[in-house]
Amino acid sequence: ERQSLLKRAIKRLPDRQRQVFLLKHKEGLKISEIAEVFGCPQGTVKANLFKAIRNLKNSMEDIK
């Protein structure tokens, strides 16, 4: 149940946040590797990852 809710919350993330989150947590890439994939600074990747995690936390809290 909780896993299913998390998957739905991930699907609702903005595209870049979802991509960064999945590359980091599902594929296990490092921040530097993700930055290379997207051709952007590591700070941009970190910001997108932070926003993704914040949005997921908010989504999961709303469901409770």
Provide the number of structural domains found in the chain: 1
pLDDT digits (tens, 9 = 90+) for 2-34: 888 899 999 999 999 999 999 999 999 999 999
Whichever domain contains 38, its CATH number is 1.10.10.10
Global pTM value: 0.91
What average pLDDT score do residues 48-56 get? 97
Q: How confident is the model at residue 58 (pLDDT cuts 50, 70, 90)?
A: very high
Q: Which residues contact 17 (CB under 8 A, 6 or more apart)?
A: 48, 49, 51, 52, 55
Residues near 37 by Cβ (< 8 Å), separated by ≥ 6? Answer: 23, 29
pLDDT at 64 over 70: no
Range of the domain at 51: 2-63
Amino acid at 18: R
